[in-house]
Structure 1
Amino acid sequence: MHDFFLTDEDRAFRAELRDFMARELAPRVDAIERNQDFSTQTAVARALGEAGYLKLMFTDLYSGPLSAPGLTHAVIVSEEAAYLNYAFETTIATALSCAYPIHRHARPALRERYLTPILEGRAVGSICMTEPGVGSDSAGMTTRIRFDDSTREWVIDGFKRYISNAGEADVYIVWGITDPDLPPQKGMSAVLVPAGTPGLSVPRLYDFMGRRGSVVGEVTLDQVRVPEENLLGEVNQGFAIMLGAFNFERVILGGSGLGVARAAFDLAKDHAQSRVSFGQKLGQKQLIWDMVAQMSWRIDAAELLTHRAAKMYDAGLGGKDLMREASQAKLVASETAVFCSDRAVQILGGDGVTRQYGRVEQLYRDARALPIVGGTSEMCKYLIAAREMPAIRPNL
């Protein structure tokens, strides 16, 4: 790692965080992966919160030693967590993706009630966007949110799926259509729904090939009622809130991809330098050092793009001004994670597909989700192209 965009303070923070993860997360990764023990994750999340690491994005709430905390440091948290266990990183990244719009758009009383516990590691958040007909394209959203004038409540009806932390979250941000007569991007709103609200249920959890230990499932909203003040921002501003959340999430996912890629790369390098085959170290063979070289430059490219996007955000850029760079970071880092985990399996051979010989097979399974979650690689390419060709609209 060359971390060209990082300062000496950023590097010192990484070293401190790496020591923290070695103490708090590393001893628990087997319980997360093998036993799928979510309580283990919440214990580590609480430790992160108590240490102040979940407040890095929120400078008005942060009281630690960093002179200018921000997304750069949240990305480092994501990377170091994913290096050890991507399932745990998914849990905290989802919580932060929930905290982000609460911090920016919730009423002060709601911020105190729901944001503080998440950032202190005492609560878990979740975001509810995806539906059976809605992934990267929000235009097909069928969840409806209407206002009941008689009770001054928002009433939500809908069905969401692929929801991280479903059933474990203490609060959900739910997106839905508030004005069906407008285009979806202009008639969408977001509301806060506390866990335990009547009508909110989790009918099913998914069993994924990777990220074992993370909790992902379906959320049904049947005549769910929340107070008027639970609206985020203003009515029909949900799409703008979603875009801001996507930029944040995609840069964080750049850190996730870097962590998975680095873990696979380190295991592949160690094997290539120690395994003897046909009288030579494996890494001396051209086909192997070609793989190692390709992993190396891809990781550096992903790192540069991810840290650039994070630094741009910390400099005050956002919205459409960050959409291209956030998409590039997510695209390259997630594809790099898939490439490196695949090549690591190949370099390790039989050991790479066997659970008894380390975690390369786990990284291979974990990495495959990255080009899909938080906006597919195809959607990221569309967003990049759309910014590069402003005179036309590329055809989805």
Structure 2
Amino acid sequence: MNRLAATAPEAGQDYLLDAEARAFRHEVRAAMARELAPLAEAIENDNDWEAVKTGIAALGRAGYLRPMFPDHYSGPLSAPGLVHQTIVSEEAAAVNYAFETTIGSALSCAYPLAHHAAPAVRDARLAGILDGTEIGAICVTEPNVGSDSAGMETRIRFDETAREWVIDGFKRYISNASVADTYIVYGITDDTVPAQKGMTALVVPAGTSGMTFPRTYTFMGRRGCIVGEVAFENCRVPEDHLLGKENGGFRIMLEMFNFERIILAGAALGVARTAFSIATQHAQTRDSFGQKLGCKQLIWDMVAEMSWRIDSAELLTYRAAQMYDRGVSGKELMKPAAMAKLVATEIACFCADRTVQILGGDGITKEYGRAEQLFRDTRAMPIVAGTTEMAKYLIASRDLPNIKPNL
């Protein structure tokens, strides 16, 4: 019997998923409980990178890093795609969001490799990421560049004599910096035109001369993932390490961000559901003033609001994933991807905050569960992969096609 045989949807969940996708979720959830949950404490409390790598390798062996790449997938799914990859991110983040950020960044690196790298480079760099034996990273953000890619200061030039691309610049807030095996680097090759027409993307293998890692950051949450700085000084890669075409990097970045925002929405949904589970369990077991805490009107108001918010995030997230799987791409996918990311990440923050409030003192101590960890972890979500404010701009820019909203 097919291990992805039909299952009924859980109450209030998976409305947009078909039977095969629901069964896939059931399988992935069991795998996360078996492979990731035993590692979660070491990742959170000890910043244990070896534990992260162990979890990634387990997902790779199971084929859970491949659904987005049908040409490299050989599992039982009849039509693997972004819906299934989003499920993986959701279920991973439900157990440990820091772990999910590592695989999310790796997959964001794998995406342009699969679609835009020269065959020899793709074959050399992609397989290890999908197997879970290697890690990928994306280098976009700079000290003066976050959402505003037009201000990118990293420069890329082509050395005609050596037939090499040369990178000079500095990137920061790079997930998997210093531990990745492959880096996708964006920079400006033509500064006489807008950045959207003069940006180029390159593949830079770990160990390339001229690439260094000045600093690793310490965050209030997401403990266990590695985020830091990457500096490039006369950093050279062969001619065939170009992604797509020269000056074609902005379109590649747009595609990557659409993908990244949708799987981040899935991750936010997983965190929100974990918070909701903690809150509802506490509300039904804690006695207060002679009755269960959940009997109090102010408590069930918070529970109800978390519930409908989570459902709205689910519908937007899996709508966007299904649109991608049906062939919607580029600017047509930009708005639904931005909406999914905006709503899901803001709801994750809301649910984490309300869960801490419902738990009271227990919610702000590590000794009484994960609520405080979720509260710390979620705060990054409305910032990474494009801020909430940037997501609103992307949405408005599609709804106001005759004008350009002023950032």
Q: Which interval holds the TM-score relative to the shorter structure?
A: over 0.9
Following the alignment from structure 2 to structure 1, what is the Cα–Cα distance between the partners of residues 254 and 229? Answer: 22
Task: Give runs of aligned pairs for residues 118-197 of structure 1, distance below 5 A.
Answer: 118-197=129-208
| 2:333 alignment counterpart | 322
Counterpart of 1:234, as a letter, is K
> CA RMSD, aligned part only?
0.5
Residue 183 (structure 1) shift? 1.1
Who is 2:62 aligned against? 51
Separation in 2, partners of 1:39, 1:74: 23
CA drift at 1:12: 0.3
Q: Secondary structure at the match of 1:25?
A: helix
- Whole-Å Cα distance in 2 between the matches of residues 344 and 43 of structure 1? 30
CA distance in 2, matches of 1:87, 1:241: 26
Partner SS for 2:71: coil
Match of 1:214 in 2: 225
CA distance in structure 2 between the partners assigned to 1:388 and 1:184 by the alignment: 23
- Partner of residue 11 from structure 1, selected from 17, 22, 41: 22
- C-alpha distance in 1 between matches for 2:251 and 2:115: 12
**Residue 186 of structure 2: SS of its match in structure 1?**
strand
Partners of 1:216 and 1:258 in 2: CA distance: 22
Task: Give the C-alpha shift of residue 50 in structure 1.
Answer: 1.0
Alpha-carbon distance between aligned partners in 2 of 1:39 and 1:167, rounded to the nearest angstrom: 14
From 366, 377, 380, the counterpart of 1:366: 377
Residue 181 of structure 1, CA deviation: 1.1
TM-superposed deviation, 1:95:
0.3
Matching of residues 39-78 of structure 1 within 5 Å: 39-78=50-89
Deviations 1:150-189, CA, capped at 9 Å, x for gaps: 1000000000000000000001000000011111110000
- Give the CA deviation at 1:374: 0.3
1:107 aligns with 2:118: yes
Rounded to whole Å, the distance in 2 between the matches of 1:391 and 1:158 is 36
In structure 1, the residue corresponding to 2:373 is in which secondary structure?
helix
Give the Cα separation in 2 of the matches to 1:73 and 1:137: 31
Partner of 2:342: 331
User: What displacement does 1:39 show?
Assistant: 1.0
**Cα distance in 1 for residues equivalent to 2:164 and 2:85:** 35
- Aligned partner of 1:380: which letter? A
* Per-residue CA distance 1:216-254 (angstroms, 9 max, x = gap): 000000110000000000000000000000100000111
Cα deviation, residue 394, structure 1: 1.0
Give how far 1:389 is off. 1.1
What is the aligned counterpart of 2:97 among 74, 86, 90? 86
Structure 2 Cα separation of the partners of residues 262 and 271 of structure 1: 14
Aligned to 1:270: 281
> Structure 2: where are the runs of 5+ without partners?
1-11
Count of matched residue pairs: 396
How many angstroms apart in 1 are the aligned matches of 2:399 and 2:139?
Answer: 30
Q: CA deviation at 1:136?
A: 0.6
d(CA) in 1 for partners of 2:57, 2:367? 31
Q: For 1:220, what is the secondary structure of its paired residue?
A: strand
User: 1:249 matched to which residue of 2?
Assistant: 260
How many angstroms apart in 1 are the aligned matches of 2:293 and 2:403?
A: 50
| Paired amino acid for 1:149 | E
1:351 to 358, 362, 369: 362
In structure 2, distance between residues paired with 1:179 and 1:388: 31
Identity percentage of aligned residues: 66
Residue 2 of structure 1, CA deviation: 2.2
Deviation of 1:280 (Å): 1.1
Corresponding position: 1:388 with 2:399: yes
**Structure 1 match to 2:7:** none
The secondary structure found in structure 1 opposite 2:172 is: strand
Letter in 2 for 1:355: K
Hey, what does 1:295 align to over in structure 2?
Answer: 306
Find out whether 1:281 has 2:286 as its counterpart.
Answer: no
In the alignment, the residues of structure 2 paired with residue 162 and residue 59 of structure 1 have an alpha-carbon distance, to the nearest angstrom, of: 30
AA of the residue aligned to 2:111:
Y
Cα distance per residue 1:251-282 (max 9 Å; x no partner): 01110110110010000000000000110100
Look up the equivalent residue of 1:75 and give its one-letter code. Answer: T
**Partner in structure 2 of residue 22 of structure 1:** 33
What's the CA shift string for 1:308-354, capped at 9, x where partnerless? 00000000101011111000000000000000000000000000000
The 3-state SS of whatever aligns with 2:72 is coil
> Which residue, 240, 251, 265 being the options, matches 1:229?
240
AA of the residue aligned to 1:369: A
Secondary structure in structure 2 of the residue aligned to 1:217:
strand
**Corresponding residue SS for 1:68:** coil
**SS of match in other structure, 2:15:** coil
Give the distance between the partners of 1:385 and 1:181, measured in 2 at CA.
28
After TM superposition, give the deviation of residue 44 of structure 1 in Å.
0.9
Counterpart Cα distance in 2 of 1:111 and 1:53: 19
